Amino acid sequence: MAEKKRGTLQIPNAPFRPGDKAHFDTWEYEPGDLSRPDPTSCSTAETNEHAFGLIRVLDFEGNASGEWDPKISADELIEGLEHMVRMRIFDERLMKLQRTGKLSFYMRSFGEEAVAIAQTMALETQDWIFPSYRQPGAQFVRGRDMVSMICHCLGNVEDNVKGRQMPVHYTYKEGRYISVSSPVGTQFSQSIGVAMASQYKGLDECCITWIGDGSSSEGDYHYAINFASVFKPPVILNVVNNQWAISTHTNLASGNPTFAARGLAYNLPSFRVDGNDFLALYSVTKWARERASSGAGATHIEVLTYRAGAHSSSDDPSRYRPKEEQDAWPGGDPIKRLVGHLIAIGEWSEEKQDELETRIDSEVMAAYKEAVKFGDLDNGPHPSNDSIFTEVYEEVPWHLQEQWDEMKRFSGD
Ligand SMILES: Cc1ncc(C[n+]2csc(CCOP(=O)(O)OP(=O)(O)O)c2C)c(N)n1
Ligand SMILES: [Mg+2]
């Protein structure tokens, strides 16, 4: 037994820092190792192994196997690939625009594109999405126009939230995509509230939400999951363990060997899934959707992945982690893995991939050119100052009216 060190706080550190050679344990679980229980009758105990293990479908040669293989059509896979490629190119372009002062701030989904896209594709259109800032890809699945997304990031006159939110903190009502909140973690309890409302109304609607590994160390996660445990609403609760919370390593967020296993204590079926495996993500989410629909309640999922880029445009990861850590990640790249699978089943080729990337690159550029016609951060025009006071209350309360009048006096309007 390890000697107890009195008077010493045990503070976990990151395993690797700049200059170290990063490596990860090889994954013990192969595709096909874990069974797929019946979603409508599955008990929490039946998922014990899944919570400590890892659900995988795709191997690194591009083959799909096992009970979790969702067996979806090649057309659907190509649709998913297209959304992921769009997300990556969109992110690259907008990051460049941030660097040239056209927008104030940006956050990429780099390396995590499969998460929101595969999981949203596994849902029904009436389902509600409670994202964090790293799931904008769900909007592509729900059909949001890129021009409108870019207008939001630019904070111009066509921004649908009129500059009230930071870039990337999207709102897309038409797609049932709930506003991203700057204080992290709030979406977890909100999703459960809406799921309880759907349950109460007898609607076949489900909610899905994602919280980061770091944010899941907040109370919000535990309050929310306790509600899910007690009231059994139709909700899919994902903890995206991408190894980092800005510069804080994942091992400071939970003392449990896996994030998934925390759900077992709340009596929720809990799965750990390879977050760079499009097929596994899709399949586990379908399972949870089926369970929600049957009235059996919530599912808790740890999405195991790696944040391949910086936290945001304000972050420099070379200060706190080795540059090669991303290459050492055993899950590889989600786009390359899906491309590999499509090629392995004879439905895709390197040439088709090149064509797709070229086409999407020009679509993103065209969308930017269209969006910037409505203004950018640098040059305006910006939403009117009056919009600070409108569209929140149906009738502006007296104290805000006073402030509004004062603003008008100062600005000479
Ligand atoms: C309540 C709250 N605390 C702190 C912050 C600052 N902050 C923004 S993102 C972030 C890290 C979150 O990491 P994680 O939950 O792992 O999500 P990831 O960025 O890795 O997707 C922090 C500390 C915040 N926005 N809200
Ligand atoms: Mg994280």
314 membership: H or E segment, kind and range:
none
Residue 379 CB neighbour total at 10 angstroms: 12
User: 247 CA distance to ligand 2 centroid (A)?
Assistant: 9
CATH topology of domain 44-308+329-382: Rossmann fold (3.40.50)
The owner of tokens 């949870």 is 288
Catalytic status, residue 311? yes
Distances (CA, A) of 83 to 11, 191, 305, 372, 378: 40, 24, 18, 23, 29
Verify whether ligand 1 is closer than 6 Å to residue 169 (CB atom): no
Specify the residue with its C-alpha closest to ligand 1, atom 26. 183
Query: In this predicted structure, what is the pLDDT of residue 392?
Result: 84
Task: Spell out where 61-155 has E strands.
Answer: 128-130
pTM: 0.96
- In this structure, the residue with its CA closest to atom 8 of ligand 1 is 184
Which value, in Å, is the radius of gyration of the alpha carbons in the chain?
22
Cβ of residue 183 lying under 6 Å from some atom of ligand 1: yes
> Ligand 1 atom closest to Cα of 312?
19
Name the amino acid, one letter, at 9: L
Q: CA–CA distance from 78 to each of 5, 213, 352, 354 (Å)?
A: 55, 30, 11, 14
Ligand 1 atom 7 nearest Cα: 184
Q: Is 284 helix (H, G, I), strand (E, B) or coil?
A: helix
CA distance 18 to 323: 7
Ligand whose nearest atom lies closest to the CA of 185:
1
Atom of ligand 1 nearest to the CA of 185: 1
C-alpha 59/C-alpha 153 separation (Å) is 37
Return the ligand 1 atom nearest residue 183 CA: 26
How do 248-249 and 244-245 pair as beta strands?
antiparallel
* Residue 37, preceding peptide bond in cis (omega within 30° of 0): no
Residue spans per domain, the chain? 44-308+329-382
Task: Please give the pLDDT value at position 4.
Answer: 64
Res 3: pLDDT: 61
Residues constituting the chain: 413
Residue that the structure tokens 């038409």 belong to: 174
- Where is 140: in which H helix or E strand? helix 137-141
Q: Considering Cα of 324, then 325, then 329, then 332, what sign does the dihedral take?
A: negative
Q: What DSSP element (H or E) covers 327?
A: helix 325-328
**224 C-alpha to ligand 1 centroid (Å):** 17
Pick the catalytic residue from 311, 321, 337, 341: 311
Confidence (pLDDT) at 410 = 87
Clarify whether 307 is annotated catalytic.
yes
In whole angstroms, give the CA distance from residue 219 to residue 143.
34
The per-residue pLDDT for 379 is 87
Q: What 8-state DSSP symbol labels residue 66?
A: S
Q: Identify the active-site residue in 307, 321, 337, 341.
A: 307
Task: Report yes or no: 331 and 79 within 8 Å, Cβ to Cβ.
Answer: no
Taking the mean position of all CA atoms in its chain, how far away is CA 384?
Answer: 32
Answer left, alpha or beta for residue 391, where phi above 0 means left and psi between -120 and 50 means alpha.
left
From first to last of the 413 residues of the chain, give the pLDDT tens digit: 456 678 888 899 999 999 999 999 888 999 999 999 999 999 999 999 999 999 999 999 999 999 999 999 999 999 999 999 999 999 999 999 999 988 999 999 999 999 999 999 999 999 999 999 999 999 999 999 999 999 999 999 999 999 999 999 999 999 999 999 999 999 999 999 999 999 999 999 999 999 999 999 999 999 999 999 999 999 999 999 999 999 999 999 999 999 999 999 999 999 999 999 999 999 999 999 999 999 999 999 999 999 999 999 999 999 999 999 999 999 999 999 999 999 999 999 999 999 999 999 999 999 999 999 999 888 889 888 899 899 889 999 999 999 999 999 988 65
pLDDT of residue 2: 53
Any idea what DSSP says for residue 81?
A: H
In ligand 1, which atom is closest to the CA atom of 132?
21
For the sheet containing 207-212, what is the strand order?
128-130, 207-212, 235-241, 299-304, 270-274
Q: Is the CB of 215 under 6 A from ligand 1?
A: yes
Pair 372, 154: CB distance under 8 Å: yes
Q: How many CA atoms lie within 13 A of 347 on its CB side?
A: 17
* Pair of tokens at residue 315: 């972050």
Per the annotation, the verdict on 152 as an active-site residue is: no
* The pLDDT of residue 71: 97
